[in-house]
Amino acid sequence: MKASQFLITTLKEAPADAEVASHRLMTRAGMVRKLGAGIYNYMPMGLRVIRKIEAIVREEMNRAGAVEMTMPVIQPAEYWQESGRFEKMGPELLRIKDRHDRDFVVQPTSEEVVTDVARQELRSYKQLPRNLYQIQTKFRDERRPRFGLMRGREFIMKDAYSFDRDEAGAKASYQVMGAAYRRIFDRFGLRYRAVAADSGAIGGDLSEEFQVIAATGEDAIVYCPHSDYAANMEKAEALAPAGPRPAPSNPLVRTPTPGKSTCAEVAALLGVPLATTVKSLVLATDTLNEAGEVVKSQVWLLLLRGDHDMNEVKVGKVPGLDQGYRFATVPEIEAHFGCKPGYLGPIGLKQPVKLVVDREVAVMADWICGGNEVDVHLTGVNWGRDLPEPDQVADIRNVVEGDPSPDGKGRLAIERGIEVGHVFYLGTKYSKGMNATFLDEDGKPKHFEMGCYGIGITRLPAAAIEQNHDERGIIWPDAIAPFTVVVCPIGMDRSAEVKAAADNLYMQLLNDGVDVILDDRGERPGAMFADWELIGVPHRITIGDRGLKAGEVEYQHRRDSAPTAVKLADIVAHVKGRLQA
């Protein structure tokens, strides 16, 4: 490609609403342009990146035996009504009426439609296993679209769906996809982790997220540096402490803590470690009648160490809280504790509550908690002596750096990531919901065992940039760069030698199958280099009159701090040596 025939639209300034580096840089590099909230034009430079990502995904999906098809963007609501999602999904499902006032949705994913395809086309066990995928436009009407392509409303997703005869088959299909995803992410040239994720109601361990590592990521990734353990924060287990609970050594004391309503304030006031305090979180569950009215509420008290955070997903798995819970209201709290929030604790309640104790708290001795009286805490609290032994102990907290790894192979570390892929075992959720069956070998209809597998095609460039950029711009890995090599001639219009050498080198690289762009726009060197550093093309060759006299050109990788002089005769081999395999 010659730059003069392409559309390069770099900007000096990022838009005011661009909060993250990828949004700023993709806009400044002319890769995307905002058309509306969460809706973007993919400009020519950005589309090249998207197409390269699509090509890698397509190649590896095909290699893994998946078959590509395309499902409509606008889908009749009847399929979504059949699965129940038309009613269940919130306003992020964009609903439309056509000219005949019939209901449609703009697809956010395609479980319903692909399940319909399966029940129509996959009649026999002989046609299984089968994996169908598409790379298609999706829409989610996010309440607050932001961060450019990171959380847009219209986006491109690769979504694949596997259909198997039985659970063992489905799990094998899931593994095949997991392996394909590893190849895909390896090929992107990004640092990433496949992390165990919560699989919700389905249970088991068949849910993995593919997270691109980036300091600015929204997700916390928990991993063990000494093993291959990795999970997201929701999923990562906090093991029960290994040792026994120490014996009580302090008496129970009512301690005045005027105005100190948080564990941190209390610890500071008393000059003790935060880890000796225990915080009280008050939840409630409601029993509804058939009309959906609340007929009874139950208040729960959760105890966590003062320096730990509650994990909502783990709490949602505690028996009794697993049908949904909410935070208690202030009147509920005052009725049960006789005190306003900030000084709550498990001793001396007005009305009984259900108690859930974190594993860590269950083995603490001589701890500190609220006294159920304003400006008062209790110190030297001990299980068995000051209150009954806890009968419901559970893992309800987020792990922290240094916690033991659940696989017993060291201590956990935490880093940030951006979720760009997800593989998930669905079981029969949709096939039962839509009665999608095949005839098995015994002649009986059985529900498909399904899996679903997504990759956020248009989120990937944003994640890649969050991981790979500097103050000058983007730094693309070779595999997904809009162009792999840029040839920058200096003074091409003044020097016939420079022009000839640049044209010649461009043609050589092109003929060797290198994705090269020749910057023939006639920009001054400063502006030209700034453009390409902003756009992030990984390899640059600069050709100038002075160098040519010595038979030399300059090579610079986007991560190199300075250019290297290379003989013109050697430059093609030199560049090819620097390309990532």
The footprint of its own copies (CB under 8 A) covers 5-7, 9, 30, 33, 35-36, 39-44, 47, 50, 65, 67-76, 78-79, 91-92, 94, 96, 98-99, 104, 106, 113, 116-117, 120-121, 127, 130, 132, 137, 139, 141, 143, 153-154
**Residues in a beta bridge with 555:** 541, 564
* Least separation in angstroms between CB 303 and its own copies: 39
Helix (H) or strand (E) holding 199: none
Q: Smaller CB distance to its own copies: residue 116 or 164?
A: 116
- Smallest distance, Å, CB 63 to its own copies? 11
Please give the backbone phi and psi of residue 136, each rounded to the nearest 5 degrees, phi first: -150, 155
Q: β-strand 354-358 against 393-394: which pairing, if any?
A: parallel
- How many CB atoms sit inside 10 A of residue 284's CB? 19
Q: In the complex, what is the shortest distance from the CB of residue 520 to its own copies, in angstroms, rounded to a whole number?
A: 13
Q: How many CB atoms lie within 10 A of CB 10?
A: 17
Q: How far is the CB of 280 from its own copies (least distance, A)?
A: 37
Distance between CA 241 and CA 238 in Å, rounded?
Answer: 9
Select 65 or 342, whichever has its Cβ closest to its own copies: 65
- Which residue's CB is nearer to its own copies, number 92 or number 470? 92
Structure tokens at 66: 């998946």
Nearer to its own copies, 72 or 200 (CB): 72
Q: Which is nearer to its own copies, 33 or 191 (CB)?
A: 33
User: How far is Cα 52 from Cα 134, in angstroms, rounded to an integer?
Assistant: 16
Tokens 């559309």 locate to 7
Cβ closest to its own copies, residue 85 vs residue 359: 85
Of 348, 335, 323, the C-alpha closest to 299 is 335
Residue 98, number of CB atoms within 10 A of its CB: 10
CB of 56 to its own copies, least distance (A): 16
Q: Least distance from C-beta 130 to its own copies, angstroms?
A: 7
CB of 251 vs its own copies, minimal distance in Å: 58
Q: How far apart are CA 366 and CA 423, in angstroms?
A: 45
Q: How many other C-beta atoms lie within 10 A of the C-beta of residue 222? A: 28
Which residues lie closer than 8 Å to 218 by C-beta, 6 or more apart? 416, 418, 419
Nearest CB to its own copies, comparing residues 78 and 512 = 78
Interatomic CA distance for residues 471 and 241, integer angstroms: 44
Q: Which is nearer to its own copies, 98 or 186 (CB)?
A: 98
Minimal distance, residue 530 CB to its own copies, in Å: 18
Q: Please, which residue, 75 or 285, has the CB nearer to its own copies?
A: 75
**Residue found by looking up tokens 């094998």 in the block:** 172
Contact assessment for residue 255 and residue 345, using Cβ atoms and an 8 Å cutoff: no
Minimum CB–partner distance for residue 138 and its own copies (Å): 10
Q: Give the pair of three-digit tokens for residue 117.
A: 């395809």
φ, ψ for residue 257 (rounded to 5)?
-135, 65
Among candidate residues 217, 189, 213, the one with its CA nearest the CA of residue 536: 189
1 vs 363, beta carbon nearer its own copies:
1
Return the number of other C-beta atoms located less than 10 Å from residue 44's C-beta.
15
**What is the DSSP code string of 444-464?**
-EEEPEEEEEEEETTHHHHHH
Q: Which is nearer to its own copies, 71 or 213 (CB)?
A: 71
Taking the least distance from each CB to its own copies, the nearer of 51 and 416 is 51
CA 527 – CA 535 distance, rounded (Å): 12
How far apart are CB 195 and its own copies at their closest, in Å? Answer: 30
- Nearest approach, Cβ of residue 161 and its own copies (Å): 12
CB of 68 to its own copies, least distance (A): 6
Q: Residue type for 230, please?
A: A
Phi, psi dihedral angles at 289 (to 5 degrees): -90, -175
CB-based contacts of 298, cutoff 8 Å, min separation 6: 284, 285, 286, 287, 320, 354
